[in-house]
Structure 1
Amino acid sequence: MTGAALPAFLSPTATASNGLSKSIAATLAALAIATPASAPSSTPTSLTALPPSHHFTIRKPTSRSRLPTAFNLSLPKRFRRQQKTPEQLQAERHRRRLLNEAWGVLRERFVDEGSINWTRLQFRLESRKLDTDQDLQTSLQWLFSHAHDPFTRYLSADQLDSVKNDIDGEMCGVGIVFYAENQGWRRTRRVVIKNVVRKSPAADAGLLIGDEITAIDMVDVRRMTFDEATQRLLGKEGKKVLISFSRDAPNGNENGVELNVLLTRRRFSVPTVTSEILEAPGVGAIGYLQVREFTANTASQTRKAVREMTERQAKVFVLDMRGNPGGLVDKAVEVAKEFLDRDRIVVRFVGRHGAKTMERSGWRFFWRRHGHVTKEPMIVIVDSETASASELVAAALRDNCRAVVVGNSTFGKGSVQAIVQLSDGAGAAVTVARYRTPRDKSIEMGRGLRPDLVKRNLSEDGAGVVHELFGRAGAKRMRWVVGRLDKCVAPGCVQGKKGRMGDARAGAKARGEGGEAGAVSKTGGKR
C-alpha cells in the first residue's frame, strides 16, 4: 500500500461505526505516515489530508563513528592516564595520612586559631597531589605557611635533630658558631667565626674568632645558604670534614693566609654560661655573667656561677645576653627566679581562647631550701639579637626592680613554640602561647624591650664591657644604678621600708587594695 491513497471510508477523518473499524483506520493511518510526503495522490483523501504534525519522514539512525584505538597511543605520554600500581596507591595513602596528621597538630595547638579558615584550608589540602615525597614536603611547608606566623614552620628530620641537640645542650660537629655578612638574595657572601666552643675539635685545631671560612669539603661557602653551611659542619660522630679558612695578618698591612684543617666530628656538651670576676675603680669586684642560650643545663650553670662570684665578694652583677636567641622557656623562668624574691610575677602567658596564666617565683622546693642566689644590684645587657626567652628574663628582672637594662632595643619575639614530632621522624614548631611582661605589656615583633640606658657598639669581651660601662667614674655609675632600682616600684610591691625587694602583700595592704590586679594597674605605666 506504499504510495496508495486511503479509501474514504478508512480515512482518519472518517467516522467509524464500531471499534474494529477504528482500529483498522488507526493502523492504516500509521502505515500511511511512512509514505514520503512527496508521493503523488490520485484522490482528494491523500496524505495532504493528514494533520500537519504527521508530515515528516522517518530516517534510519546512523551510528557515531568511534575514534581509532591507535589515536590514544599516538598522544604524548603526559596526556595519557596512567594506571597506578598498588604500591603507588599505598604510598600515596601513607603520605595523605602524614599530611592529615600535620593538619591535626596545627588545628589543635596553634594559638591564633581564629585567624585561619580551617574548612577552606582542609578543602584545599585534600586537593593537593601527593604522588612523590617531594610533593609531601611541599604540601607540608604550604600548610604551615598558611598560619601566617613566622615562627610556625615545618621541620625536616635533620632540622628536628639539630633543634633537639640545641635543647639538650649537646652538639655533634666541630664546635664552630658562625654568622654571615653581606648576604645576597638567600645566599651567604662571607662566613665568619663568631665563637669557638671550648674543648671542641675546632678549639683543639686552633681556630679563632674572626677567622673567615672559605670552603667546607672543597665546596665554596659563598654560594651556600646558611642552612647548607650548617648541615655540612654538623654530621655523624667520627666523620671527618675539611675546612678552609683565611686569617688576617696581625699588623693588618699584609694579606691574610689561607689555611686548611681536617677535623673529626664528635659529640660534646656546649657550655651556655661563662663567668669571671672583674674590677672597676670605685666599685670593686664585678661579677660578669654571659648567657648564650637557654638549654637544659643553663639554670644549674647560672646558679653555680653566681654563687661562686658571690663568695668572691662581687658587689654588682652584669648579665650579658647579647646575641641570645632564646631557648627553653621553663629554663629561662628558672634563671629569672634565681634573682627574684619570693612571690614575684615572672611572666604572664596568653594561650588559646585567650586563657591567661602566670608564673610566680618562690613556690618551688629549691627556693624554700636555698633562696635566691644574690640580692646585689644587676645590669642586663641586650642588643637587637636578644630574642624570645632572653627577652623574658630581661623583662622579669627589670619589672621587678632587680636590674637596669643597657644596650639596644631587643628583637621582639613574645611567643612560645612547641616542638612536635610527626610519625615519619620529621616535626613542626607551632606557636602555642604568647607571653607578656610582669607589667602586662606585650613584646611585639620589631618592637622589643627598650633599654633604660642606650649603649651602642659595646665591646665583645667582658673586660671591655665593664670598662665601657663604668670606666673611671665607676662610683657615679654605681650610684645611678642603685638609685634607679630604689625608686622603682615593682608590680605588687611598695616602696618603703622593704625597699626594692619589699613584700607584695604588705604593699597591697598599705595601699588598701584587695589584690594583685590593683597593684599591677597602678604600676603598669609606660617606662
Structure 2
Amino acid sequence: MRKIGLLRVVLLRGICAICVATILNLGFAQPPALAFTEQQKLVMEVWRIVNRAYLDETFNHQNWWFTREKVLKRPINTWGTAYEETQKMLQTLDDPYTRFLPPEQYQSLQTNTSGELLGVGLQIAKDDDNQYLRVIAPIEGSPAERAGLSPKDEITTINGISTQTFSLDEAAARMRGPAGTIVTLGIERMGTDSFEVNLTRERINLNPVFSELRSENNKKIGYIRLGQFNGNAVEDIHQALMTLEKQGSDGYILDLRNNPGGLLQAGIEIARFWLNESTIVYTVNRQGVLESFEAGTAALTQKPLVLLVNGGTASASEILAGALQDNHRAQLVGETTFGKGLIQSLFDLPHGSGLAVTVAKYETPEHHDINKLGITPDQIVTTESLTREQFSTPEDVQYQAAVKTLVRSLT
C-alpha cells in the first residue's frame, strides 16, 4: 500500500517552483519572522499548507502568493480577525471542501468522525452552480431522518436566514447548538411545495452498522447496513461479517444507501474484507501522480455480494462501491450515487483550529473519475423516499430487487 506523503489524517474528502520564481523576479522580500503576530503566523501557515498540498496547482487561476501578501497587509491582531481573513483567503479557491475550521468546528468534526455528533444529523454539500445547500443524507437515527429529510433536498433557510451566502461550515455551525434547542430549516424538494421543518438538536451516537441473517427464497442472506465510515465502522463491519459467516450465510447484501462517506481509510479497509489481490482505488495528486491502495491476499468471504446504493451514497461509500463493481466482486442495485470524488486531509493549526484541504481526487480501479458524475448501478431501480423503518422491508423495492439478484446468483 502506498499513501500520499505529508498528510496527517485523510478524509472519503511541495513548494511551488513558479511561485518561488515570481517572488525572486519581482524582488519581494519576506519581513523578519519576529515582525509577525501570532495571528499573522496562522494565516501564513494556512497559506503554506495550501501552497504545498492543494490539488489545483493554479489555485483557481490566481497568483496565490499575491493573495497571501494582500491579506498580510491588513491588521491582524485578534484570533477572530485571523479566522475571518483566513476564511476569505481560502474562499478565493472556490472549493467548498477546502476550508478553515475554528476550534469549536474542528473539535466537532473530529468528534463526528470518531463516532459522536451533536446537532440535527445532516450531511450537506454545496454545488458550484447552486448557492443553496444540498442534503447528501440524513444520519441514521437523527432528528433530520425522523423528520423525513432526504438526499437532494435543498436547504434554503436556517432560522429564516437564506443559505445562499453560507459556507458549509457556517451552515453547519448554525445547525449545531445545545441539545434540546430547536432549529428551523426551509426546504425545497422536487415535485413538492417549499416547506419548513423544526428540528430539535440532540447528541447523536453514530453506531454505523446494523446486521441480520434473513431467510429469503430458502436462502440465508446476510443483510448489513452501513450508515457512515467513521472510527467505529471497520471493526463493526468485521464483527458483523464474522458473525454472519458463523451463522451460515449463503450471500450478502451490503446497504450503502444514504451513507455520506467519512474516513477514506475505513472505506479501504472494508473493501479488503471482500477483495483478493486487486486495486481498491487510485488517488491522483496535482502533479497527476497515481498512487494506489491494494487489497490483500485473502478476503474474509468469497460468497456472492450485492450492494444497494442511491443518491445519498457518497465519498468513501463510492470508493467502496467502485472497487467492488470494477473488480466484478459485487452487483450494484439502486440509483446513481452522489458523485464526490475529491479527497481532503485535516491539518492541525495553532490555537486549536484546523484546516481541511482538497489534496487529491480518486479514480475507481478502471480509472473512472466519478466527481459530480457518480457511479451508475448495474441494475437501476428508482424509489420514492423511504423512512428508515421501511428500509429492507417488503415496501422497499430496491431491497427486493437486490434479494432477487442475489438469489439468482445462488441458484
Q: TM-score, normalised by structure 1?
A: 0.57
Contact 1:399 1:439 in 2 (8 A): yes
CA distance in structure 2 between the partners assigned to 1:153 and 1:230 by the alignment: 18
Q: How many residues of Structure 1 are paired with residues of Structure 2 in the alignment?
A: 340
Q: Does 1:330 align with 2:277?
A: no
Map of 1:155-174 to 2, 5 A cutoff?
Answer: 155-171=101-117, 173=118
Contact 2:392 2:400 in 1 (8 A): no
CA distance in structure 2 between the partners assigned to 1:142 and 1:457 by the alignment: 41
Q: Does 1:106 align with 2:67?
A: no
Q: Give the letter aligned to residue 426 of structure 1.
A: S
User: What is the aligned partner in structure 2 of residue 305 from structure 1?
Assistant: 240
- Of the three residues 80, 84, 87, the one matched with 1:141 is 87
CA distance in structure 2 between the partners assigned to 1:314 and 1:462 by the alignment: 20
Q: Does 1:409 align with 2:409?
A: no
CA 1:193 to 1:113, structure 2 compared with 1: closer, same or farther past 3 Å?
closer
Deviations 1:63-85 (A, max 9, x none): xxxxxxxxxxxxxxxxxxxxxxx
User: What is the aligned partner in structure 1 of residue 207 from structure 2?
Assistant: 271
> Whose helix proportion is higher, 1 or 2?
1
- Of the three residues 384, 389, 392, the one matched with 2:319 is 392
CA distance in structure 1 between the partners assigned to 2:41 and 2:241 by the alignment: 50
CA distance in structure 2 between the partners assigned to 1:436 and 1:340 by the alignment: 17
5+ residue gaps, structure 2, are 1-33, 125-129, 150-156, 164-170, 185-197
What secondary structure sits across from 2:68 in the alignment?
helix
CA distance in structure 2 between the partners assigned to 1:401 and 1:473 by the alignment: 16
Q: Does 1:353 align with 2:287?
A: yes
What secondary structure sits across from 1:428 in the alignment?
strand
CA 1:392 to 1:421, structure 2 compared with 1: closer, same or farther past 3 Å?
same
- Of the three residues 350, 361, 380, the one matched with 2:307 is 380
User: What is the aligned partner in structure 2 of residue 286 from structure 1?
Assistant: 221
Task: Provide the identity percentage.
Answer: 26
Contact 1:194 1:210 in 2 (8 A): no
User: What is the aligned partner in structure 2 of residue 504 from structure 1?
Assistant: none
Deviations 1:431-484 (A, max 9, x none): 11211101112122x211111111122644443278624759966x3465579x
Contact 1:92 1:130 in 2 (8 A): no
User: How much has 1:185 moved relative to structure 2?
Assistant: 7.8
CA 1:242 to 1:424, structure 2 compared with 1: closer, same or farther past 3 Å?
closer
CA distance in structure 1 between the partners assigned to 2:226 and 2:399 by the alignment: 21
User: What is the aligned partner in structure 2 of residue 468 from structure 1?
Assistant: 397
CA distance in structure 2 between the partners assigned to 1:297 and 1:382 by the alignment: 21
Give the structure with higher Rg (CA): 1
Q: Give the letter aligned to residue 355 of structure 1.
A: V
Q: Does 1:449 align with 2:375?
A: yes
Contact 1:288 1:462 in 2 (8 A): no
User: What is the aligned partner in structure 1 of residue 351 from structure 2?
Assistant: 424
CA distance in structure 1 between the partners assigned to 2:182 and 2:269 by the alignment: 38
CA distance in structure 2 between the partners assigned to 1:473 and 1:344 by the alignment: 25
Q: Does 1:230 align with 2:159?
A: no
CA distance in structure 1 between the partners assigned to 2:377 and 2:241 by the alignment: 23
CA distance in structure 2 between the partners assigned to 1:292 and 1:98 by the alignment: 36
CA distance in structure 2 between the partners assigned to 1:349 and 1:99 by the alignment: 28
Q: Give the letter aligned to residue 234 of structure 2.
A: A
Q: Does 1:210 align with 2:147?
A: yes
CA 1:211 to 1:462, structure 2 compared with 1: closer, same or farther past 3 Å?
closer
Contact 1:92 1:131 in 2 (8 A): no
User: How much has 1:291 moved relative to structure 2?
Assistant: 1.0
Deviations 1:347-380 (A, max 9, x none): 11112422211111116xxxxxxx4222121111
User: How much has 1:208 moved relative to structure 2?
Assistant: 9.0
Q: Give the letter aligned to residue 463 of structure 1.
A: S
CA distance in structure 1 between the partners assigned to 2:305 and 2:363 by the alignment: 22
CA 1:221 to 1:146, structure 2 compared with 1: closer, same or farther past 3 Å?
closer
Q: Give the letter aligned to residue 408 of structure 1.
A: E
CA distance in structure 2 between the partners assigned to 1:260 and 1:377 by the alignment: 40
CA 1:322 to 1:233, structure 2 compared with 1: closer, same or farther past 3 Å?
farther
CA 1:425 to 1:472, structure 2 compared with 1: closer, same or farther past 3 Å?
closer
Q: Give the letter aligned to residue 209 of structure 1.
A: R
